[in-house]
Structure 1
Amino acid sequence: MPIKIPDSLPATAQLEKENIFVMTEHRALHQDIRPLRVLLLNLMPTKITTETQILRKLSNTPLQIEVELLRTKSHVAKNVSEEHLETFYVSFDDVKDEHFDGLIITGAPVELLDFHDVDYWDELTRIMDWSKTNVHSTLHICWGAQAGIYYRYGVEKYELDEKTTGVFEHRVVKPSSPWVRGFDDRFRAPHSRYTNVRAEDIEANPNLEIIAESDEAGVYMAKSTDSRNFFVFGHPEYDRETLNVEYERDSKTHPNAPLPKHYYPDDDPTQPAESTWRAHAQLLYTNWLNYYVYQTTPYEIDAIGHEEAADDE
């Protein structure tokens, strides 16, 4: 099934080139089924790249999804044109009276700041508070996961001695969870961050559970036991070249920037990187959409926030 996005969004051409079924707004208007409404709060500076990466993951499902792009008003984006933001993005005031089946909160390059020093922290917490009554299920990614698990459950983040960057092996620790249905026992996933959360802090909270983790990179997937909030502390949406682009950027300002681990063949950055995580990344998004959004969200979208909490998984 297709993903429905604005006809002229830059990601549209790239996704169509990859033979991903993108439905035009005109065609979607003539369908009788209700699409899932997903709100994407894009906090990354490279907005168009992140849009494309996440829309690619949302598109490869048997569901019709209508995506709305959300930005913060309290932060001025420097790496994307104001025209793009005005054309394709909405602000929280535009959607605060609406309901959504899903919300995705992306990462952001602000990990070394205290949460309360981030210039849009108050706006972000307002959105997270609003999601309790207006969103059925929320997926938090990387810094968005650290921010979400801190604000919602009090789990702290800690600065690392060295940036965690690379593609790491993980193991599924709760194979009965539908979120990892179809996963291998061990799988690979990208990380890129200067801070982490600790497994013991998550395990100490009875409202949280760990789903997958890595010996090298730490906790990767965690969720609330009521299946309303999901946390991914890596970047499953990353393209093959993303870590390479980040490494080249970091190396310009930090000559001793750490080489992404297990990413380049023989750890040689002159060789093209290999993509070894796309299948599990796709399952992560597809399973979230299928088992925790589509199958449990109310058909009448205005009923979101009034329905019974999902059964523990």
Structure 2
Amino acid sequence: MPLRLPDKLPAIEILKKENIFVMDETRAHSQEIRPLRIVVLNLMPLKITTETDLVRLLSNTPLQVEIYFMKLKSHTPKNTPIEHMMMFYKDFDELKRHKFDGMIITGAPIETMNYEDVQYWPEITNIFDWARTHVTSTMYLCWGAMAALYHFYDIPKYSLAKKMFGIFGQYPLEPTLPIFRGFDDLFNMPQSRHTEVHRNDIEKIDDLKIIAESPDSGVSMVMARGGREFFITGHLEYAPDTLDKEYKRDLGTRDDVELPFNYYRDNNPDNDPLVTWRAHANLLYSNWINYYVYQETPYNIDDIR
């Protein structure tokens, strides 16, 4: 079954060219089925790119999924046309009256700031709290994951001496969990961050379970509340060329830019990236939708508690 997307969303034409089946709202209304409702709080600067990355992964399921995009009222994006935001995004104040089967909260380019110094910290923590009673399962990504761990559990973040940048092998620590169904003993995950969380801080919290980590990039996945929350420090959603664009954007403008680890063929930036994470990315999102959203959410969405 396809994703239900807003009419004229740029991702629709991009994904059709990749032979991914999506349908716009006009066609979807002709099907009598309750789709899963997934809301995305997109904090990334390049909104359209992140939309497409996430929609690509959410499409790999036999279930019909309806996507909503949420924006913050207390922050105005600088890198996305205002017309796009007005057409496809809704403020939290408008969406908070509804309940959702799943939610994704992305990273944001503000990780070196203290959380309380972030302009929209009061609003986003309000959204974090709201999600616990209005969403069946929420996936927090990169800065979103660290911010939520701090808000709910006082888990601090730590600055890195150099950017964690590249593709790093991760080990599932509880491979029998449904989120890892079909996974290999080792899977790769893109990382692009200047901060980290530490295992010893997380282990002090009984409600938190570290479920994947790397000897090189540290904790990568944490689960809470039986799968109602996942905190992922990396970017499995990244397209093949995202790290390449970041590297070439920052080269010569920052003093901490190094070649992304284990990314280019023969470690040569003149070569194409070697994509080694896409299969597990699709599997992770399909498992999340199936086992932690579809099989856990009530048929009457208003029964979510």
Shift of 1:21: 0.7
Who is 1:289 aligned against? 289
- Tell me which residue corresponds to 1:20: 20
- The AA in structure 2 aligned to 1:245 is K
2:118 aligns to what? Answer: 118
Q: Partner residue of 2:175?
A: 175
Are residue 92 (structure 1) and residue 80 (structure 2) matched?
no
Cα distance in 1 for residues equivalent to 2:219 and 2:270: 30
Contact preservation (8 Å) 1:212, 1:219: yes
Shift of 1:256: 5.0
SS in 2 for 1:119: coil
Show the 5 A alignment for 1:115-264.
Answer: 115-254=115-254, 256-264=256-264
Task: Give the structure-1-normalised TM-score.
Answer: 0.96
Aligned residue in 2 for 1:311: none
Where 2:220 maps in the other structure, the secondary structure is strand
Task: Give distance in 1, aligned partners of 2:186 and 2:57.
Answer: 21
Matches within 5 A, 1:41-80: 41-80=41-80
Contact 1:209/1:225 (CA < 8 Å) preserved in 2?
Answer: no
CA distance in 1, matches of 2:252, 2:82: 27
**Using a 3 Å threshold, how does the CA distance of structure 1 residues 185 and 234 change in structure 2: closer, same or farther?**
same
- What is the match of residue 309 of structure 1? none
Distance apart, 1:152 and its partner CA: 1.4
Alpha-carbon spacing, 1:77–1:173, altered in 2? closer, same or farther (3 Å): same
SS at match of 2:97: coil
**Which secondary structure does the structure 2 equivalent of 1:189 belong to?**
strand
Partner of 1:109: 109
* TM-score, length basis structure 2: 0.98
- Note if contact 2:104-2:141 (Cα within 8 Å) is conserved in structure 1: yes
Distance 2:46 2:3 in 1: 21
What CA RMSD, in Å, does the superposition of the two structures yield over aligned residues?
A: 1.0
Percent same amino acid among aligned pairs?
52
Letter in 2 for 1:133: T
Separation in 1, partners of 2:213, 2:54: 22
CA distance in 2, matches of 1:200, 1:100: 33
SS at match of 1:179: helix
User: Do the aligned partners of 1:102 and 1:138 also contact (CA within 8 Å) in 2?
Assistant: yes
Could you tell me which runs of 5 or more consecutive residues in structure 2 were left unpaired when the two chains were aligned.
none
Partner Cα distance (1:293, 1:262) in 2: 33
What residue is the counterpart of 2:10 in the other structure?
Answer: 10
Distance 1:296 1:106 in 2: 22
C-alpha contact 2:162 2:256 (8 A) present in aligned 1: no
Cα shift readout 1:9-62 (whole Å, capped 9, x = no counterpart):
011100111111102212211222210000000000000000000000001111
Shift of residue 266, structure 1, vs aligned partner: 2.2
Q: Segments of 4+ in structure 1 off by > 3 A?
A: none
How far apart, CA to CA, are the structure 2 residues paired with 1:92 and 1:249? 32
Report the CA distance between 1:255 and its aligned residue: 5.1
Q: Give 3-state SS (helix, strand or coil) of 1:18's partner.
A: coil
Give the aligned partner of residue 310 of structure 1.
Answer: none
Q: Equivalents in 2 of 1:104, 1:219: separation in Å?
A: 19
SS at match of 1:226: helix
Distance 1:288 1:239, change over 3 A: same
Partner amino acid, structure 1, of 2:248:
E
**3-state secondary structure, aligned to 1:50:** helix
Report the counterpart of residue 278 of structure 2 in structure 1. Answer: 278
Matched pairs, number: 305
Q: Which amino acid aligns with 1:275?
A: V
Question: Partner amino acid for 1:75?
Answer: H
Deviation at 1:135, TM superposition (A): 1.0
Residue aligned with 2:33, SS: coil
1:252 CA displacement = 3.3
CA contact (8 A) 2:146 2:233 kept: yes
